[in-house]
Amino acid sequence: MTDPASPTTADKTRSMLECHWSVELYNRLKAADVRQVAYVPDAGHAKLIELFVADREIVATMLTTEEEGIAIAAGAWLGGDRTVILMQSSGVGNCINMLSLAVTGRFPLLMIVTMRGEWAEFNPWQVPMGLATETCLRTIGVRCLRAEEPESLVETVISAAKLAYEADQQVAVIIGQRMIGEKKW
């Protein structure tokens, strides 16, 4: 008989893929000369955050609210650094007003957004922003690229990084909730 509390094969596979994409993504963002990361703690980004925080060459800033990340990215760019902002979809709503700074100022902006309110969501409070995230970002002028599979995520983020850092664009990579997995409390 299987212990219901023990991880399933699917859980183990998802965990291995998460570690794989997090490590690969961390390495590729460092190679793209990202020197600052701004984040709100999030289970979907946990491994990636852990890697950046442990790196003494990276300035990792934990935010009290997501829009602070936009200001940090602006200041970092003015100082010659590249920044990535890690957040959950529920935090996008907090950023809408501040995103006008990046769009109007035309400075590079790269955000990686883990989704809530989609696949197997249990929390009804996450659903409205989950439905509105991409629409809100596009309406304010941020290009959205979506990744649903770990295999395409790293390539999607590297493409977004080139758009942001080389073409001075504002880009959000949306990581589908199914890829992150069902959240349980």
**pTM to 2 decimal places:** 0.88
Place of tokens 């490590």: 23
Sign of the CA dihedral with 137 first, then 143, 148, and 151 last: negative
Token couple for 124: 């009804």
Alpha carbon 24 to chain centroid, angstroms: 14
Angle between helices 9-31 and 46-54 (to 10 degrees): 40
Percent of the chain with pLDDT over 90: 72
Confidence of residue 122 (pLDDT cuts 50, 70, 90): confident
Confidence of residue 123 (pLDDT cuts 50, 70, 90): confident
Contacts of 24 (CB under 8 A, 6+ apart): 154
CA distance 59 to 61: 6
User: What does the domain layout of the chain look like in residue ranges?
Assistant: 9-180
Q: How large is the average pLDDT for residues 87-102?
A: 95
Pick the CATH number of 9-180 from 3.40.50.970, 3.30.470.10, 3.10.20.340, 2.40.128.130: 3.40.50.970
* CB-CB contact of 177 with 117 (8 Å): yes
Q: Does residue 185 have a pLDDT over 70?
A: no
Q: Are strands 170-175 and 109-114 parallel, antiparallel or unpaired?
A: parallel
Q: Which of 172, 148, 152 is CA-nearest to residue 161? A: 172
Contacts of 127 (CB under 8 A, 6+ apart): 117, 121
For 90, list phi and psi in degrees, rounded to 5. Answer: -65, -20
For 73, list phi and psi in degrees, rounded to 5. Answer: -60, -40
Place of tokens 């942001």: 164
Q: Looking at per-residue confidence, does 159 or 126 come out higher?
A: 159
Tens digit of pLDDT for each residue in 66-84? 999 999 999 999 999 999 9
